[in-house]
Structure 1
Amino acid sequence: MKILILGGTSEARQLADRLTSLGHDVITSLAGRTQDPILPAGRLRMGHFGGVQGLCAFLRAANIECLVDATHPYASQISGNAVAAAAATGIRLVRLLRPAWAPLPGQHWTVVRSAKEAADALPRHANVLLTTGHSGLATFLERQDCQFFVRLIEPPNVAMPKNAQLVLDRPPYNLAGELTLMQRHGITHLVSKNSGGGQTAAKLEAAQQLGVVVLMVARPIYDPAEEVETVEAAISALSAAGA
């Protein structure tokens, strides 16, 4: 079966590897934001489709039989496009979405709906570990009364102001490293998206141990789709579709 995976996550890469090993023709599409991504098995497509119409055109031209949305939990635009394109073409869509984090005993988060709400919630003179990625970065850096330590995989397109220090690193992160990072910089506040998964969860335990305040940006609301939470469940769903 010919399958298009909208990728960019570790789960997308694992799924592509598994489906390719099972003999399927797999194309993984990456947006191209990361300069040196870890590549999955199978074929690769880089760049945007050009909205719903562009995605529909690609699905038809490539004779795709199943579409898998395995993008980041905050990639709401492409996820919405996937739902619309699947409906327009009649191609089956499976959304692979890892479960969100939930506070463990002793963990207390302030949940906010947006980067703007998170930035507004920071007190003056906060030392902030910012782990929300490139999106919304400028909103936080407008808070010149706070000190930011901005952790990214790739450098941003804008220079860091005096009140911000860039921390370039790639997950997975472990508890010891997160504790060291937060203690070194005297972190008082952690701002995170609820990405889920194990690769970046250690920061939440580190924050709990150190008494760091956690501001958690809630996930977007997704359009309805057939949804699974694991690679194994995705394979089962695709098998039911004839994959």
Structure 2
Amino acid sequence: MILVLSGTSDGRKIIELLFQKGYDVIASTATKYGGILIESDCNVEVISEKMEQDDMEKLIRKRKIECIVDATHPYAEKVSVNAMAACKSTGIKYLRYERKGNSYEKTDGVSCFPDYDKAISYLKGTKGNILLTVGSNNLQLFTSSLEIDRLYARVLPTYSVIKKCEDLRLLPKQIVAAQGPFTKEFNKAMYNNYNIKYMVTKDSGDEGGTEEKIKGAIETGVNVVLIKRPKINYINLYDNIYDIIKVIDKDLKK
């Protein structure tokens, strides 16, 4: 049995490939919506809830998990740390898939920061509308530190996410509920429509639409504020999905 920690299109691809090869797979997502996306692609068991290290260890023992494939988002730091610890504690294999990022350190118009706090400190000294494209998990850091009327949040169009935005005092006109990734032209139209001066993003890789966001911003004169990926000492790290499958075939194929 293989446990795939998903939450990205990459994770769904890995699950699909393993399913097609006949492996017994359990997929784990942090949200119900993520689970729905997986269930629409293939018939595997899905657990749609957040798991701490203890939860993972219990599941590993109960379901006789032989390997965890961590295909969570590059910024889901806590999940990856918990998964590595759970694998070490139970003696099973841990494999990490992480999509390639891009280096924007020397790109004109892009300011890179190691964490949210540094980025927010920078934004405090600026003026103009800010588009947040970093998901909903950390919106409160911005709404509690910056002028609320400057903020526009592009988030998933789910009830819980929109409610969170409203609870943080964002008005309907400040909530852009849409699922990406988006084209460069779509991004440019959005920047112009909301008179955006600063766009905050994460380096989610090409699959996550980061390049289209940044290129669109540069072409429309929007300043990019990029939160760099957290530094995690992964074990068994791969950036090619098929390399992950090869390792599993070698180590687990009966």
1:217, CA displacement in angstroms? 0.6
Superposed CA offset, 1:6-54 (max 9, x none): 11110000010011011111110011264774124222112123x2122
Matches within 5 A, 1:164-175: 165-175=174-184
Secondary structure of the corresponding residue to residue 118 of structure 2: helix
Superposed CA offset, 1:59-108 (max 9, x none): 11101111100111111111001110111111101001111122398544
- Identity, % of aligned positions: 26
In the alignment, is residue 179 of structure 1 matched against residue 155 of structure 2?
no
Secondary structure of the corresponding residue to residue 118 of structure 1: helix
Could you say which residue in structure 1 is the equivalent of 2:55?
Answer: 54
Alignment counterpart, residue 239 of structure 1, candidates 241, 244, 249: 249
1:234, CA displacement in angstroms? 1.4
Contact 2:148 2:170 in 1 (8 A): no
Secondary structure of the corresponding residue to residue 18 of structure 1: helix
Secondary structure of the corresponding residue to residue 231 of structure 2: coil
Q: 1:147 to 1:95 in 2, by over 3 A?
A: same
Which gives a bigger RCO, structure 1 or 2 (Cα 8 Å, sep 6+)? 1
1:233, CA displacement in angstroms? 1.8
Superposed CA offset, 1:145-165 (max 9, x none): 761110000314242335970
Alignment counterpart, residue 204 of structure 2, candidates 195, 199, 202: 195
Paired residues, number:
241
One-letter identity of the residue aligned with 2:155: L
Q: 1:92 to 1:145 in 2, by over 3 A?
A: closer
One-letter identity of the residue aligned with 1:186: N
Q: 1:107 to 1:17 in 2, by over 3 A?
A: farther
Distance 1:215 1:22 in 2: 42
Gaps of 5+ in 2: none
Distance 1:175 1:36 in 2: 28
Distance 1:115 1:105 in 2: 20
Q: 1:35 to 1:54 in 2, by over 3 A?
A: closer
Distance 1:25 1:82 in 2: 19
Secondary structure of the corresponding residue to residue 80 of structure 2: helix
Could you say which residue in structure 2 is the equivalent of 1:141?
Answer: 143
Q: What TM-score, normalized by structure 1, do the two folds share?
A: 0.91
Contact 1:124 1:146 in 2 (8 A): no
Q: What TM-score, normalized by structure 2, do the two folds share?
A: 0.87
Superposed CA offset, 1:176-204 (max 9, x none): 11111111112111101111133422111
One-letter identity of the residue aligned with 1:215: V
Could you say which residue in structure 1 is the equivalent of 2:164?
Answer: 157
One-letter identity of the residue aligned with 1:182: Y
Relative to structure 2, which stretch is displaced further, 122-131 or 70-79? 122-131
Contact 1:189 1:214 in 2 (8 A): yes
Please tell me the root mean square deviation across aligned C-alpha atoms, in Å: 2.2
Q: 1:132 to 1:33 in 2, by over 3 A?
A: farther
In the alignment, is residue 82 of structure 1 matched against residue 91 of structure 2?
no
Contact 1:106 1:208 in 2 (8 A): no
Q: 1:163 to 1:9 in 2, by over 3 A?
A: closer
1:222, CA displacement in angstroms? 1.3
